[in-house]
Structure 1
């Protein structure tokens, strides 16, 4: 056997081994692995409809609704931080939340009107519960509660924002997703700079969550930040 034949055989074997390594995770875990890691969304059953901005899916509509819901509780939370925060960093985080969600709220309302999506005008029961906790927090207890509640909420949104931005065929929804991603990252950054975020408990259920309720930023979550 010639040296060229041996070399060719080694190259082929290497290519086959590489392909096997790439396919192995799929064969081991199947399609369920990707399905489990993909963020969920609330399906309103309306299917996909045509708009002047491109096709509008149930995921698109859910995303716009969640952006609106976020502003309905995080704007008041930000204002509380501006007024009641004891540390300069918490007050700064409040400023960023108010500015960011004022913009996103306006964009979500514009998208809702243009795309025919009905939006909420008041926070969900869960969100009202979080606001009530902030209202009840006295003195030095406010700053750490604010930072933890808001950081946990913002940390849950990255999956859906990325999913919508990558897959939506609707130009208005994609634009909203792009801006939401930038705002969420800014908010995460300023919340972490407060020094009050307990990273070890970010995955724990948010204080005051009703027993049996489910979330996923974003599967059946009432929050997007």
Structure 2
């Protein structure tokens, strides 16, 4: 082959070096592509934890006869207890004040479901050495106050909206705990809570008074 003026024939070694360089560049690009989703997934997982309201008590993970007990596990057991402390009274109000059969039925489900979950959460706390609250939070007391102050006409829609929003938030925590816990007592509580909370969400929606357009606005 005749070369053009001013050019030199490249050696076979140069060709091999060029090919090797291209392969290395391709491998690095592939590795970078794989690493980015991992990093993003890690950030998303952290954000999901914050979204569901998991509160770290600073106690770390401790060993129990039922498996490791994490801060998230303890927070979950406490939140099941807290849910019952205000949702059972709210359910009783619905039983007494509901203008429709659907609202009264939702009240029945809330009282029955949280009576059971409250017992289970107290049993779990005793087994695992978790201190439980005995009063609703200030925010929960505020919701009970709103329900108590509402007129009979306004009670049904307010009840459905407040309780459906609350159950939607705790449902996300239940799912996260059920997925990640390594403690058999906490897992059993999460299993039952999952079924009860889903039932409550369903009967609240069946009242026909849940405004889905504003459900996640607060």
Instruction: Please report how far the alpha carbon of residue 127 of structure 1 lies from its aligned counterpart in structure 2 after TM superposition.
Output: 0.4
Misfit runs of 4+, over 6 Å: none
Please list every run of 5 or more consecutive structure 2 residues that lacks an aligned counterpart in the other structure. Answer: 1-29
| Residue equivalent to 1:69 | 82
Aligned residue number for residue 31 of structure 1: 42
Corresponding position: 1:112 with 2:156: no
> What secondary structure is seen at the aligned counterpart in 1 of 2:203?
helix
How many equivalent residue pairs? 187
Q: 2:201 aligns with which of 188, 193, 199?
A: 188
How far apart are residue 43 of structure 1 and its match? 0.6
Higher mean alpha-carbon deviation, 48-57 vs 188-197, is at 48-57
For 1:127 and 1:30, the matched residues in 2 are separated by 33
TM (norm. structure 2) is 0.81
Alpha carbon RMSD of aligned pairs, Å?
2.0
Q: Evaluate the alpha carbon distance shift between residue 170 and residue 27 of structure 1 in structure 2; reply closer, same or farther with a 3 A threshold.
A: closer
- SS, match of residue 50 in structure 1: coil
Which is worse superposed, 167-176 or 22-31?
A: 22-31
The secondary structure found in structure 2 opposite 1:197 is coil
Partner of 1:165: 178
Larger RCO (CA under 8 A, 6+ residues apart): 1
Q: Which has the larger radius of gyration?
A: 2
The one-character-per-residue Cα deviations of 1:66-91 (angstroms, maximum 9, x if unpaired) are 00000000000000000000000000
Task: Give the TM-score, by structure 1 length.
Answer: 0.78
